[in-house]
Amino acid sequence: MGRFATGVCVVSAVVDGFDHAMTANAFTSVSLEPPMVLVCVHRDARFHDAIVTSGAWGVSVLDAEGRSISSWLATQGRPLHGQLDRVAHFRGRLTGAALMEQALSWLECRTDQVIPAGDHSVVIGEVISCALRSQDPGALLYYRSGYRELS
């Protein structure tokens, strides 16, 4: 699968007043009517319980300069409390989820289904809000175990 280039995003949720976030590249559109997306989350990841419990979540599609955010939020064992202190973000209007400023687009989603699949869960969400950045500095990609930029 390393030979399949993917975009890079941050998926986030709020549970009991605490921010949870993870870097994801297993993210895609599912349906246009209604608009739905999915993200695959490892069941052993602490984010798994957060996204399932919250029932609503945010997605920030990182721009070409989002590598440091992606790397930080992919670091296993990082502290839960304050993990977003070093990341510029704002709150989704409908979900309260943290949305990264360093993004090309933002989605807010409400969980529709959680489907077990091997060691992951496929979390399907209905898009309840979306926004696009006015400028397009290019996208951050992940390919063959490394980051690439698409201008």
Instruction: Give the CA dihedral 109, 113, 118, 120, nearest 10 degrees.
Output: 20
| Proportion of the chain in helix, strand, coil states, percent, rounded to 5 | 10, 55, 35
Q: Half-sphere exposure (CA, 13 Å, Cβ side) for 87? A: 31
Q: Is the pLDDT of residue 17 over 80?
A: yes
The number of domains in the chain is 1
**Does any domain span residue 1?**
no
The CATH number that applies at residue 30 is: 2.30.110.10
* Res 5: pLDDT: 86
Q: For residue 134, give the DSSP letter.
A: S
Name the pTM for this structure: 0.94
**Does any domain span residue 47?**
yes
* Residue numbers of the domain that contains 96: 6-150
pLDDT more than 70, % of the chain:
100
**Does any domain span residue 14?**
yes
**Does any domain span residue 50?**
yes
| Local confidence band at 65 (pLDDT 50, 70, 90 cut-offs) | very high
For 69-104, how does the pLDDT look when each residue is reduced to its tens digit (9 = 90+)? 999 999 989 998 999 999 999 999 999 999 999 999
For 60, residues 6+ apart whose C-beta sits below 8 A from its C-beta are 9, 10, 12, 89, 99, 100, 102, 103, 105, 106
